[in-house]
Amino acid sequence: MKPWLKYLLAVMVLATTIPSRAQSDRVFVPAGSFHSVLPEIKGEPNKVDAFYLDVTAVTNEEFVDFVTENKEWRRSEVPSIFANDSYLDHWKSDLDPGIEETGAQRPVTRISWYSANAYCSAAGGRLPTLNEWEYSAQLLKFESPEEMNEFSKELIGWYSRVNANFIGAVGSTDIETAYGVKDQFGLVMEWVENFKPIIANDLSLDCGTVGRLQKLGNIYSYAASIRFITRMSFSPESTTGMLGFRCAYDVETKDTTKNSL
């Protein structure tokens, strides 16, 4: 990216503002570790520091507040280098998401990595890292290996038939982690900060890749592999009906950020 484009992006992010969201809408995720489907040091799981994460994905209602305050991220104003042509194209207009047709409290989709990143930055947070998102997603409670396998089969089926034209309301999946994070599965896929891990440069996007990524030897890791491969197909300006996002927040800044979500 040319230096002047980097400068423009920095200015656009720093200049954005957004109405605050209640701090009760985020939860604390304690530090921990998890095994990834990606190659890792043998016997050493990925360690994740404590962070805060939005309980649910950002909604159309919240995103329209953001673009109302930040004109540069409206559909008619956003530069093409920051979003594809389908950016928010399901909305009726710049400031009308068409809630009466799509339904209330639906995750906002057809937003690019750039716009999601700008929203979170304006909210006093950031996009979660890939490891933070994956770590949180594994903090589910299962009564038995059989229950986990059944959930994973359903998850694989969902990844194969995400219906971008009918998305449920946030909080409607009944899928919730041990710490209260909802809908990491079952509604939309979500942007993460580093959605293309470095290893992606050496991999092709095919079924063989999924097999090579599956290191944990169970059906849940196979489902995770599909998720990784799908992420690798995106570019920062991608805007699809299956992509939404939520924000993360550093522990040391949460209580001192005045205008945070």
Q: What is the DSSP string of 155-171?
A: HHHHHH---TT--PPTT
Residue at 3 is within a domain: no
pLDDT of residue 6: 43
Is 41 part of a structural domain of the chain? yes
Query: Can you tell me which residue has the tokens 């956003």?
Result: 78
Q: Is 250 exposed, middle or buried (0-12, 13-18, 19+ CB in 10 A)?
A: middle
Residue 154: per-residue pLDDT? 87
For position 35, which CATH number holds? Answer: 3.90.1580
Q: What domain count does the chain have?
A: 1
Residue 11 has pLDDT above 70, yes or no: no
Structure tokens at 173: 């999946």
Whether 32 shows a pLDDT value over 60: the answer reads yes
Contacts of 49 (CB under 8 A, 6+ apart): 31, 251
Look at residue 261 and tell me if it is in a domain.
no
What does the pLDDT look like over 98-136, one tens digit per residue?
999 989 999 999 999 999 999 999 999 999 999 999 999
- If we measure between CA atoms, which residue out of 142, 147, 188 comes closest to residue 165? 188
Check: pTM over 0.85? Answer yes or no: no
Handedness of CA 177, 29, 66, 89 (dihedral sign): negative
Res 163: pLDDT? 77
Q: In angstroms, rounded to a whole number, what is the distance separating the alpha carbons of residues 77 and 250?
A: 31
Does residue 141 or residue 76 have the better pLDDT? 76
Which of the two residues, 205 and 80, has the higher pLDDT score?
A: 80
Structure tokens of 83?
A: 């979003």
In a domain? residue 17:
no
pLDDT more than 90, % of the chain: 55
pLDDT at position 38 over 60: yes
Please write the tens of the pLDDT for every residue from 189-225: 999 999 887 654 555 545 555 555 555 456 667 777 7
* pLDDT at residue 230 is higher than 80: yes
Q: What distance in Å separates the CA atoms of residue 24 and residue 22, rounded to the nearest whole number?
A: 5
Residue 206 forms part of a structural domain: yes
- Residues forming beta bridges with residue 52, ordered by sequence position: 28, 249
pLDDT beyond 90 at 156: no
Structural domain including 178 reads 24-253
Is residue 8 included in any domain, yes or no? Answer: no
Residue 258 falls within a domain, yes or no? no
